[in-house]
Amino acid sequence: MIETNQTLCNRIRAKDPKALEQLYVENEHALYRFIYRTIKNKAQTEDIIHFLFKRLWKETPHLPNQTYRQWLYSTARQHVIVHLKEKQIHTVANNERLLS
């Protein structure tokens, strides 16, 4: 039986661990590619994915009325942007240290 996004979201809101597992299985590979394409670091990509699903499980009751897939990708995008900014700041700091 194919489950609708809303049904899956409702099961996750009800703290059904099988629903979270299903969401993970259905999205982990594509989410990995989405994050890794920019970060290009396996360990950091896996850490972000782990963080996303842990946060999703913890904050489920407080999430807006959207599908969790949408939430995963929008939150992953935010983390990638933060990562790139931190990487850029770190690179600038290293360059300044080398030049001084």
Distances (CA, A) of 14 to 4, 30, 45: 15, 25, 28
CATH number at residue 70: 1.10.1740.10
Q: pLDDT tens across 40-53, in order?
A: 999 999 999 999 99
Give residue 59's pLDDT band: very low, low, confident or very high (50, 70, 90): confident
| Residue-number span of the structural domain to which 86 is assigned | 5-99
- Residue 61 pLDDT exceeds 70: no
Q: What's the rounded Cα separation, in Å, for the pair 19 and 11?
A: 6
Per-residue pLDDT tens digits for 6-51: 788 888 888 999 999 999 999 999 999 999 999 999 999 999 999 9
Count of the separate structural domains present in the chain: 1
